Amino acid sequence: MKMKLVTVFVLASACFLSAPKTKAQAAAAQQPSASAQQGIDQDVKLLREDLRAKKKKLVAANLQLTPDQATKFWPVYDQYTADLVKINDQKYALIKEYADTWGTLTDDQAISLMKRSLAVDEQVAQLRIKYIPIFNKVVPGKTTASFFQIDRRLVAMIDLQLGSQLPLVQAQD
């Protein structure tokens, strides 16, 4: 399990080391043209899809499911992921807004972004709470708990990588 989690970290690191930093640096230097922005948006969309696919593989590699459990688990996982994507759309919109306003961000805008970011975190926590009994209907409690441990670890690593690529608000002054 430890080796598989190291693999997770390496994959998450590889996925995030270049794209978000480049976007933040580009936003700090100048506003991209509409066509360049569409290209960035498409790159982010593809990166997110790739991360979801890798995350699913890592969950499968680390979660011990019987064939019967797997048959029941994966449809619930896919629905959970679809619901999580909707919330994460808000997260990435906030990151995009932050990049777009970089250099001209006011105190009020900074506070607004922070509050909305925390509201997104709260939505993710509520989604997990909602899905605990749903997963627990298809797999045992320990398996449900293990899934959420894995999920939280993966998301934490991705968030850490992403956050480390975004400049601090005060750096724009």
Q: For 121-156, write each residue's pLDDT tens digit.
A: 999 999 999 999 999 999 999 999 999 999 999 999
Spatial CB neighbours of 58, under 8 Å, sequence gap ≥ 6: 4, 7, 8, 11, 150, 154
Sign of the Cα torsion 159, 82, 10, 13 reads negative
Report pTM: 0.76
pLDDT tens per residue across span 83-127: 999 999 999 899 999 988 988 999 999 999 999 999 999 999 999
pLDDT value for 83: 97
- Which residue shows structure tokens 């990588």? 161
Determine phi and psi for 30, rounding to 5 degrees.
-170, 160
Give me the chain's average pLDDT, please.
Answer: 81
